[in-house]
Amino acid sequence: MSAVGHLKHEYDKVKVRLHGLLTRMEMAWMKLVSELEPKEFEAIITLLKRGHDQAQYVLKHGELPDDEPAVPWELAHGLSILRIGNATPLPQSTDQLQTRVLKDGTLLGCRKWELLDLLWSEALLKWIENLRHHATFGTDPAMVKMERDVTLAIAGDWGTGPFNSHAPAVSVANQMQLANADFTIHLGDVYYAGTHSQEDTDMAGWPMGTHGSFTLNSNHEMYSGAHGYFKELAQRFPGQQGTSYFAMYNDDWLIVALDTAYASDVMNLYMDGTLNQPQIEWMKGLPKRKKLMVLSHHQGFDITGHHKTALYQPVCDALGREPDYWYWGHLHNGIVYATQGGLHARCAGHGAIPYGVTSQLDGHPRVLFSETRNAQDPSYPLRVLNGYAKVRLVGEEIFEEFIGEDGSVRWKS
């Protein structure tokens, strides 16, 4: 098949998928409306309106006002798709909107995975369908013993699957495989909505560690009520014992991996990290080690590292101290923060979603590294390198590297 023929075939598949998606969304919305209390209904309408207005504002002005709290972009097309009011449809193709990079590195455009990709509406659909239906929370966390010399490969927001022949997820997985890590850890996000079929397809290429692999819960998994996520644990990550949090330890290090999504606010689409009581009690009883690392999907700092999030203090309180290192995803970006207090914070959420240069981090004193090297991707000309973090622990020492999809070492400690 010629390149033009292949593109037409892919476009036709997307059209069919969108038609089915929009029909299902209308049906799910009608069902949900019949179940909702009036206040809940009004709250959702308000959210959808904010999402639409946010997109309109950014299209017109280039960025959101600094004092305006953002809402998830998965809501952007909701008003027009559900035919609520007389909302003006947003751009839906590259003919209507040429991609541009916002200051946080996200790509405002209509291509796959960009902010106005219509298929993000599947996350909205699954959120509507599962607003009241969540999987049972597992409470049998694994305690995994590590060797004194151990290598971890960590990637967040990786679950796009091989969406084209040169998908960043495939390149990043290949590089992770070359690391020959003892353990590989996914910090969460399987797209679009963490359904069972998406978990099964997108995580099929996850590079397994020689001694084990793990995956965390996230906002996108929660859109499907985490049903697909917990099924995936049983199928591909049995070492987690059906539980979305776990710990790894040796004589020097304790690594605490958390589920910050399950208890997050459903009406904010699980965007802010939260701990539930079973995890807090478990964290309080964990063994003490000289070195402490936390892994989570949601972040402990805002993107600039200037403000702590609402997740930060509860984590420290439950552990009885500030971690020495904290790796998170959620932000589709690769960022190394300067040490604050005793904490070395890292964002490794650049596993697969296309993103661009994050201009708001340029020259920022609290940022040691953020990715700026162009990926030379003809499908996404503004995209910078995706990648992962390779971490080696030897006794109390730690050696960190951020490795690009091309195999280059982009930063090391």
pLDDT digits (tens, 9 = 90+) for 321-343: 999 999 999 999 999 999 999 99
Cα–Cα distance for residue pair 260/300, rounded to 1 Å: 11
Q: Indicate the pLDDT class of residue 31, thresholds 50, 70 and 90.
A: confident
Q: Indicate the pLDDT class of residue 16, thresholds 50, 70 and 90.
A: low
Rounded to two decimals, the pTM is 0.93
**For position 312, what pLDDT does the model report?**
98
**For position 40, what pLDDT does the model report?**
84
Own/partner pairs for 83-88, CB < 8 Å, 24+ apart? 83/26, 84/45, 84/48, 85/49, 87/52, 88/56
Q: Are 284 and 317 in contact (CB under 8 A)?
A: no
**For position 13, what pLDDT does the model report?**
56
**For position 309, what pLDDT does the model report?**
97
> 408 by DSSP, 3-state: which?
coil
**Is 1's pLDDT higher than 70?**
no
**Average pLDDT, whole number, for the chain?**
92
Name the residue type at position 19: H
**Is 36's pLDDT higher than 80?**
no
Cα–Cα distance for residue pair 71/80, rounded to 1 Å: 17
Determine which helix (DSSP H) or strand (DSSP E) holds 222, and give its type and residue range: helix 219-223
Cα–Cα distance for residue pair 297/218, rounded to 1 Å: 6
**Is 52's pLDDT higher than 70?**
yes
Cα–Cα distance for residue pair 213/310, rounded to 1 Å: 28
Alpha-helical regions (H) of 36-107: 38-61, 78-81
Q: In this structure, how many other beta carbons lie within 10 angstroms of the beta carbon of residue 382?
A: 18
Share of the chain above pLDDT 90, in %: 82
Share of the chain above pLDDT 70, in %: 95
Q: What is the DSSP letter of 329?
A: -
Among 30-39, 165-174, 176-185, 249-258, the least confident range: 30-39
**For position 11, what pLDDT does the model report?**
46
Q: Are 179 and 409 in contact (CB under 8 A)?
A: no
**Is 371's pLDDT higher than 50?**
yes
Q: Which two tokens stand for residue 116?
A: 């106005």
Cα–Cα distance for residue pair 128/361, rounded to 1 Å: 35
**For position 6, what pLDDT does the model report?**
41
User: Residue range 204-224: average pLDDT?
Assistant: 97
